[in-house]
Amino acid sequence: MLVKKSIRILFISIILFLIGSNNANASEDILFRFMHNDHDALIIGTVTSIEDNIMTIKSIDRIVSASSINNKEQLWFDEASFPLTIYAPERFNVGDHVIVSLHKKEKGLFIRNGLYKVSGTDFRTLKVEHPICPATGTMLTDFVNSGGLYTQYSIGGGEIVTRYYLGEETVIYNHAEAMALIDSQNEEPQSENLQNENSNHIINIIGGSACLVSLVIVTIFIIKKKNV
């Protein structure tokens, strides 16, 4: 039984790896653009309504990156309404705080390089929530907390995220340490059902595989463009 379950886990991981590889170029490009002003506005705000797949937020603050890939003037909107497109409306609720990259067109505003939940509206202390990859969330949080000052990152073996700024290197995320902390907080009695333990392993493997693919590609992409 355990052998069959292990085979299923391996199969799922391989599928996720292939999917991640196919989508990696798009993901890395979006992250880079998110941190380099490739939008008309990067707004922090609070959700005031979600109706017919349209989200409306009250703007609280904005982030303007210190490193830009174009000369776009960064705009401000007191209120912004935009379609959620690929984003599931049920993931968000009125009152949630978000950060969103917006593109202004003749027909209105549209999501440009991402929409994320955040823990608050003070850019200096908020945390960006990433639904799949905690390391990516940490990277985006560091960027936002700096007010757009920090834009260069890389990942080393074992998923260690490093920030580069003015010749200094600072480790901002260590996947092994983060997982060890989670395990210590969620320790179960030895008598707990073995099936629960296997389920946790499945989640960790799936999440780790998808996250690792994204971060390795993001690292290559950002390092290649760090002189922009």
Domain map of the chain by residue range? 2-224
Per-residue burial over 71-105, b = 16 or more CB atoms within 10 Å of its CB, e = otherwise: eeebeebeebebebeebeeeebeeebbbbbbbbbe
Q: What are the angstrom distances between the C-alpha of 183 and each of 19, 59, 161, 165? A: 28, 38, 20, 32
Comparing 19 with 157, which gets the higher pLDDT?
157
Percentage with pLDDT > 70 across the chain = 67
Mean pLDDT (the chain) is: 78
pLDDT for 49-66, tens place per residue?
999 999 999 999 999 999
- Global pTM reads 0.73
pLDDT for 118-151, tens place per residue?
999 999 999 999 877 888 899 999 999 999 999 9
Per-residue pLDDT band at 27 (split at 50, 70, 90):
low
Burial of residue 216 (number of CB atoms within 10 Å: 0-12, 13-18, 19+): middle
pLDDT for 76-123, tens place per residue?
999 999 999 888 778 899 999 999 999 999 999 999 999 999 999 999
Q: Which amino acid is at 34?
A: F
* Nearest in space to 117 (alpha carbons), one of 130, 132, 104, 133: 130
Q: What confidence score (pLDDT) does residue 194 get?
A: 46
Q: d(Cα 137, Cα 207) in Å, to the nearest integer?
A: 13
Q: d(Cα 207, Cα 108) in Å, to the nearest integer?
A: 35
C-alpha of 135 from chain center = 8
Give the chain's largest Cα–Cα span: 62
